[in-house]
Amino acid sequence: MSTQVPETETEAEAETESKPHQERRLAEKEKRREAADRERVAREEIEAADDSVHLKVFRYDPEVEGKQEPRFDDFHVPFKKGMTVLDALMYARDHYDSSLTFRHSCRQAICGSDAMFVNGSQRLCCKTQMVDLEEPVRVEPLPHQEVVKDLVVDMQHFYDQMESVEPYFQTNETPDGELEEQRQSRENREKIKMSTRCIWCGACMSSCNIAAGDNQYLGPAAINKAYQFYMDEREGEDMQEHRMRILEQEHGVWRCQTQFSCTEVCPKDIPLTEHIQELKREAVKSNLKFW
């Protein structure tokens, strides 16, 4: 009498234990089948395509055993007219290895999230055409930044430097009426126009040798942001002085050695080095004393 109840319970337990196990196995099997299908589709597309492109992608995952050693993985992707590096990376991730990790969002050079080191130069992947590159196309994370995983770097230091120049409009002279505009002259708008194009991608900072050697250097992006507001006629003299104190500090504008690497890689064509030199001249002027 005493044995029958536990036996039934054990059977029931075994059944409930095995059900999720079975479901998991089925789900894994399904996943494997889907991955094999994707690979097959990729192979067929490569065969059908007139051409394919060869990517060499940097891989590193500190959290997975066996993947902690940095390495390069090869991917062959069917070429399509107008294909960008980002398109090729997405194809590789979607068809070959879903663990391939990289940032992207807008796909139209606006969000700044997919700046990477492509064939030895900092570029926005969504703006870089595959036809313009020599193969194999080598894709690496931005240099001089800590790699989190594969092509993803830690941007915190870059954001801290941007934050340190107070990258927002500040003025005491707010207009009277509730809906009054704070007007800016056409000439002034024209002057700061290029500086406003920054998308915070970090390509300039990553290309700068000075920033690589001096962790406290504000860097071209932050100085350009400060330029935008320093040159804005609506902020007033007090604020200009305050901004200049930030810019002329030990790790500010005077660190720049006019190497132009930031200007060369900027995907928005901002004349970064020129802006830094202009601020150096402003720094000299603000310290001149006339007796």
Contact residues: ligand FES, CB under 6 A: 104-107, 109-114, 124, 126
67 vs 104 by CB, closer to ligand FES: 104
Q: How far apart are CA 142 and CA 140, in angstroms?
A: 7
Q: Name residues whose C-beta falls within 8 Å of residue 180's C-beta, 6 or more positions apart in sequence.
A: none
Closest CB 70 distance from ligand FES, rounded Å: 24
Closest CB 118 distance from ligand FES, rounded Å: 12
126 vs 139 by CB, closer to ligand FES: 126
111 vs 148 by CB, closer to ligand FES: 111
12 vs 106 by CB, closer to ligand FES: 106
Q: Do residues 171 and 236 touch, judged by C-beta distance below 8 A?
A: yes
Closest CB 123 distance from ligand FES, rounded Å: 10
Closest CB 249 distance from ligand FES, rounded Å: 31
Q: Do residues 210 and 252 touch, judged by C-beta distance below 8 A?
A: no
Closest CB 92 distance from ligand FES, rounded Å: 16
Q: Do residues 79 and 130 touch, judged by C-beta distance below 8 A?
A: yes
83 vs 109 by CB, closer to ligand FES: 109
105 vs 129 by CB, closer to ligand FES: 105
Closest CB 204 distance from ligand FES, rounded Å: 14
Other beta carbons within 10 Å of 272: 29
Handedness of CA 209, 212, 215, 221 (dihedral sign): positive
Backbone angles phi, psi at 85, to 5 degrees: -60, -35
> Helices (DSSP H) in the chain: which residue ranges?
4-48, 85-95, 156-164, 186-192, 203-207, 209-213, 220-230, 237-247, 261-265, 272-287
114 vs 140 by CB, closer to ligand FES: 114
Closest CB 125 distance from ligand FES, rounded Å: 6
Burial of 283 (0-12, 13-18, 19+ CB in 10 A): middle
